[in-house]
Structure formats: C-alpha cells, structure tokens
C-alpha cells in the first residue's frame, strides 16, 4: 500500500488532514515540516506488522520545522501561531465545534509551541512544534545547549535509532522517510541502538528509556549499546540527573502495559538500587498487572516494586520519586494498612473484619491486592463494587435535622451505615428516598436520641 494511504489509515482521517495542513502551511513560508520520533516509529512498526490494521490512538504528534537560512528560534512558534489561527475560528470537523476548546501554549524559552485539540472523552490530541536543532551537552546529565540545525542534526541528537526517524510533510515530498541512522532496519531487527558512544552519559535518562522501549516492544539492546549502557551505570551516571527527570521516566515505565518486563531489565542492570538499595524485585514472579486508565494507577506498580520496604524506607522513596501530596498519601496509606488486609485475606478473617481492613485502603492498595494473588481478585472486586454503593445517603445536614447535636458522633454514625451496607445488612438497591428512610430507621435504632420515644422512632 502507498505510504500516503497507509498514513491515512493508521493516523486516522482527522489527524492525517492535520498533518497535510501543517506541511502546506510550512511550505508556504519556505520551510519544511516533519513528523518525528514516536509517531513515526509506531507508524513504521504498524507498517511492518501484518496485517497492519491497528489504528494509532491517543498518540501525540511531534512536529519539527526545518528551513535552512530561514530557520530562527521563533520559527516553530510562529508556524504554530499561524496554524492555530487557521484551525481555531469557524472550524467544524466531524460535527464537533473545535473553536471553543482548541488551546495554544508557547514555551518561549525552548522555542516550542503546543496546540491541544479535544478528543473523545477527556482526551486531548497534543501537537508539539519545535525548530530543528543541534545539541551540545556541557556536562553529563545536564540539559543540552541548543542551536538551530538541519533535520539530520535534529535526528542525531535523539536517544535511539528507532526514535531518530522523520516523515516529510511538505506537499511534493509528503510521506518520505528521513532515516539517516538506519532506524527502520533496527525496527525490523528488533534492536534498541544508541547513536553514539557517549549517549547514555550525555543523557542518563536514556538508560531508563532503553528499558521502557525494550520492554514495550520486546526488543533487545544491540551489543555495543548494552556495553555502553552498563559502563554508564557503573560510572553512576544516573546520579547526575535531577530527581524530577528520574521520576518522569520511572512513571513512564510504571505506566507501561509491560512494566514488569521493563523492571526486569532494570533489575538485570542493577538500576533499581538507585531508587533504593533495599528493593528486591523478584523477576521469576510474573506479575500480570494491567494499568487501568485511572491517573494514579501507576502507583500500583510502585507498590509492587517497594513491597519489601518498611514504612520509613517507603517515606524516603516518596521523596526520591518526588511524589505529589496525593500520590504520597496513597503510597503511605497503603503501606500502613496493607499488612492487616493481607493477614485478613490469608487467614480467612470474617467478612466484617476483612471489609474493615479493606476499607482503610486507597483504591490502588485494593488493586495491588487483586493483582498480588489471583485467588483474591474476585473477593476484592466484590468489595470494590459494594464499597461504591455503600456510601450513606444520609449526610450531616440530615443528622442535624433528625436531632443529633453536631459532633464526633456524626462520623461514627455515617461509618456504621457504611459498614452495614457493605455487609449487605442494609439494602443498596432501593431508590434514594427509600434508602434514606431505611438509613434513618437504622440510625434511630442504633443511636437512640434522648427524649425521642420508641413510637416516634418507629
Ligand atoms: N527523546 C530523546 N531523548 C530523551 C527524550 C526524548 O531523544 N531523553 C526524543 C525521542 O526521539 C522521542 C521523542 O523525543 O521519540 C519524544 O519523547 P517521548 O515523548 O518521551 O517518547 P516517544 O518516543 O514519543 O514515546 P511514547 O511512545 O511513549 O510516547
């Protein structure tokens, strides 16, 4: 199939249309636009796999603008501005009014810009624009110094040959591949290969990225690449990157569908000890945990990784991984209550006790239990469903109206309702009005109000 047709099929009609418009808009200004990096890699992987029917979804598009003499640090920003003007007013596609929701961001310091399109659900299609650049690393692990360059320079500064790929978007050369480092061949051979000897020292996050791509696609590291990677690890290159950059790449790994495979590689290369020397990652135990779409579910992966660490060491990890306050709370709460929940499951505690311990856990702690032992998956699933329905209909306002004086008793009452609903002792399938009546009856029976007669209570 012709590349153009295939691009339409794989990127989808809408994104294909956008790519064509980007190419044209650049050409009008005497520039050349390229699609680069991940989307090109995945497009070629699709092309190589037969039949290549898989559509690329949820993929951001990275655009690099080249232009010889015309290229300046503002070139990509200006082109993105021009496209934003074209795309934002009066534009309707597939019945959807974009103009209200399409967004534009400029990152002046980097000479880059982003256009964000609303997609189905809450998803956004992100199109990033950058000018083609040459990089120079002042010292290992630091961010590089940048100057304008041509498309080959831009590809040469990248991590692996399979990511150093570009597709020309200008009208006369639309769909032509730029592959100056033989990346397509490495995709065929299933190889991760760096572009030069100093690559891992220049940017040690590439050590983590190598594990991510090798794990995701089930590729191997080319021989010299593996040697250079191990040398960089021995030289403690990972200590030269900031905690934030380390976090970003670790989170990317934990979000991967095959994250266990990526972690196995990191364990092989003794990289996990950079996170904590006490991590024991059991490679033989194939833990099949699937990342749900929820934002924080990658924390399940982190919980698995740090399962042998005590509370204090876990606290250290939350700092090292620069966790947000919310993420930190999920991890520490899980760490605190998982041992009791595990014990309750292992020792077949009564449902009342088991549910008590399970309800102390955050959602990710529950998922953790479900994936640690497949015998518990159903039990945990039932608990999660019941928990959602067990939320009391009554609230503080209602309790006040009934006549309870405000105070700690409210928490106690609402907790009790939650517990009995969890155990199925109060119905959860009635209308809101009927449920409320049942809850009121229950509360009055178990928390008698002074001065209210039995008759009134009934
Ligand atoms: N890149 C790089 N070195 C890095 C980070 C990024 O060379 N340390 C380049 C690669 O060419 C990569 C592109 O920037 O393809 C975009 O990076 P990123 O979004 O992290 O990776 P993708 O390849 O798009 O991966 P994914 O499929 O996970 O989105």
Residues 97 and 241 in one domain: no
Residues 143 and 208 in one domain: no
140 lines ligand 1 (CB under 6 A): no
163 lines ligand 1 (CB under 6 A): yes
What's the total number of domains in the chain?
Answer: 4
CATH classification at residue 144: 3.30.460.10
Predicted confidence at residue 67, as pLDDT, reads 87
Predicted confidence at residue 457, as pLDDT, reads 47
Query: What is the spatial order of strands in the sheet that 166-168 belongs to?
Result: 103-107, 112-118, 124-131, 61-66, 32-36, 166-168, 177-178
Phi and psi dihedrals of 98, rounded to 5? -85, -35
For the CA of 37, the nearest atom of ligand 1: 15
Longest CA–CA span in the chain (Å) reads 91
Domain presence at residue 391:
no
Cα 386 to Cα 54: distance, rounded to the nearest angstrom: 37
Cα 285 to Cα 264: distance, rounded to the nearest angstrom: 10
Check: CB of residue 116 under 8 Å from CB of residue 124.
yes
* 35, 36, 38: residue to mutate for ligand 1 pocket, most atoms within 8 A of CB: 38
249 lines ligand 1 (CB under 6 A): no
141 lines ligand 1 (CB under 6 A): no
Predicted confidence at residue 71, as pLDDT, reads 77
How close is the Cα of 104 to the center of ligand 1, in Å?
A: 21
Q: How far is CA 121 from CA 58, 91, 117, 118, 124, in A?
A: 11, 20, 12, 8, 9
How close is the Cα of 209 to the center of ligand 1, in Å?
A: 8
Residues 181 and 214 in one domain: no
Predicted confidence at residue 91, as pLDDT, reads 56
Check: CB of residue 63 under 8 Å from CB of residue 35.
yes
DSSP 393: S
3-state secondary structure of 110: helix
Domain presence at residue 270:
yes
Token pair for 80 = 């993105």
Domain presence at residue 173:
yes
Residues 178 and 59 in one domain: yes
Residues 48 and 114 in one domain: yes
Neighbour-count burial of 313, counting CB atoms closer than 10 A to its CB (0-12 exposed, 13-18 middle, 19+ buried): middle
* 42, 153, 158: residue to mutate for ligand 1 pocket, most atoms within 8 A of CB: 158
Q: Which DSSP string corresponds to 157-213?
A: TSSBGGGS-EEE-SGGGTT-EE-TT-HHHHHHHTEE-BSSTTHHHH-THHHHHHHHH
Check: CB of residue 225 under 8 Å from CB of residue 210.
yes
Residues 312 and 348 in one domain: no
159 lines ligand 1 (CB under 6 A): yes
How close is the Cα of 182 to the center of ligand 1, in Å?
A: 17
Domain boundary, last residue among 375, 408, 438: 375
Domain presence at residue 387:
no
Residues 349 and 401 in one domain: no
Residues 21 and 160 in one domain: yes
For the CA of 252, the nearest atom of ligand 1: 28
Residues 242 and 351 in one domain: no
Per-residue pLDDT of the chain (458 residues; tens, 9 = 90+): 577 888 888 888 888 999 999 999 999 999 999 999 999 999 999 887 765 555 566 678 999 999 877 778 889 999 999 999 888 865 555 455 554 578 899 999 889 999 998 776 667 789 999 999 998 877 776 777 888 899 999 999 999 999 999 999 999 899 999 999 999 999 999 999 999 999 999 999 999 999 999 999 999 999 999 999 999 999 999 999 999 999 999 999 998 888 889 999 999 999 998 889 899 888 766 656 555 555 788 999 899 999 999 999 999 999 999 999 999 999 999 999 999 999 999 988 888 888 889 999 999 999 999 888 888 888 888 888 888 888 888 888 989 988 888 888 899 999 888 888 888 777 777 777 888 888 898 889 888 877 554 444 44
Predicted confidence at residue 311, as pLDDT, reads 95
Check: CB of residue 217 under 8 Å from CB of residue 45.
yes
Residues 443 and 370 in one domain: no
Predicted confidence at residue 161, as pLDDT, reads 98
Predicted confidence at residue 89, as pLDDT, reads 62
pTM of the model: 0.86
Neighbour-count burial of 332, counting CB atoms closer than 10 A to its CB (0-12 exposed, 13-18 middle, 19+ buried): middle
Residues 15 and 108 in one domain: yes
CATH classification at residue 228: 1.10.3090.10
How close is the Cα of 127 to the center of ligand 1, in Å?
A: 14
385: left (phi over 0), alpha (psi -120 to 50) or beta: alpha
Check: CB of residue 64 under 8 Å from CB of residue 132.
yes
Respond yes or no on whether the N-terminal peptide bond of residue 35 is cis (omega within 30° of 0).
no
Domain presence at residue 385:
no
Residues 219 and 356 in one domain: no
203 lines ligand 1 (CB under 6 A): yes
Domain boundary, last residue among 161, 189, 217: 189
Domain presence at residue 100:
yes
Domain with 337, as residue range(s), is 326-375
Cα 413 to Cα 421: distance, rounded to the nearest angstrom: 12
């Amino acid at each position: 199939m012709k590349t153009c047709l295939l691009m339409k099929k794989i990127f989808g009609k809408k994104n294909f249309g956008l790519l064509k418009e980007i190419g044209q808009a650049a050409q009008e200004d005497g520039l050349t636009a390229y699609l680069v990096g991940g989307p090109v890699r995945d497009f070629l992987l699709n092309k190589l796999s037969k039949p290549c029917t898989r559509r690329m979804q949820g993929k951001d598009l990275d655009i690099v603008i080249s232009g010889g003499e015309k290229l300046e640090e503002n070139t990509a920003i200006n082109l993105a501005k021009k496209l934003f003007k074209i795309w934002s007013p009066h534009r309707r596609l597939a019945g959807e009014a974009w103009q209200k929701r399409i967004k534009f961001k400029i990152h002046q310091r980097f000479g880059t810009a982003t256009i964000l399109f609303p997609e189905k659900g809450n998803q956004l299609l992100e199109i990033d624009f950058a000018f083609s650049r040459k990089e120079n690393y002042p010292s290992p692990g630091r961010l590089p110094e940048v100057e304008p360059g041509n498309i080959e320079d831009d590809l040469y500064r990248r991590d692996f040959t399979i990511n150093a790929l570009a597709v020309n978007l200008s009208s006369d050369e639309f769909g032509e591949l730029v592959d100056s480092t033989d990346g397509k061949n490495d995709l065929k051979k299933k190889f991760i290969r760096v572009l030069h000897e100093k690559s891992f020292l220049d940017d040690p996050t590439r050590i983590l990225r190598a594990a991510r791509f090798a794990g995701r696609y089930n590729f191997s590291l080319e021989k010299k690449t593996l040697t250079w990677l191990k040398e960089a690890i021995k030289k403690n290159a990972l200590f030269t990157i900031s905690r934030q950059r380390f976090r970003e790449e670790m989170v990317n790994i934990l979000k991967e569908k095959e994250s266990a495979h990526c972690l196995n590689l990191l364990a092989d290369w003794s990289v996990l000890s950079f996170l904590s020397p006490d991590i024991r990652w059991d490679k033989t135990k194939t833990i099949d945990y699937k990342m749900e779409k929820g934002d924080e579910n990658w924390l399940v992966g982190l919980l698995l990784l740090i399962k042998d660490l005590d509370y204090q060491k876990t606290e250290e990890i939350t700092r090292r991984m620069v966790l947000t306050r919310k993420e930190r709370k999920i991890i520490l709460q899980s760490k605190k209550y998982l041992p009791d929940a595990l014990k309750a499951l292992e020792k077949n505690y009564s449902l009342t006790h088991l549910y008590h311990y399970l309800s102390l856990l955050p959602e990710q702690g529950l998922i953790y239990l479900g994936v640690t032992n497949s015998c518990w998956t159903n039990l945990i699933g039932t608990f999660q469903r019941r928990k959602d329905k067990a939320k009391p209909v009554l609230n503080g306002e209602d309790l006040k109206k009934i006549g309870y004086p405000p105070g700690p008793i409210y928490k106690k009452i609402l907790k009790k309702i939650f517990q009995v609903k969890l155990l199925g002792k109060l119905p959860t399938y009635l209308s809101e009005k009927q449920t409320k009546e049942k809850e009121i009856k229950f509360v009055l029976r178990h928390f008698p109000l002074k001065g209210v007669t039995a008759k009134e209570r009934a």
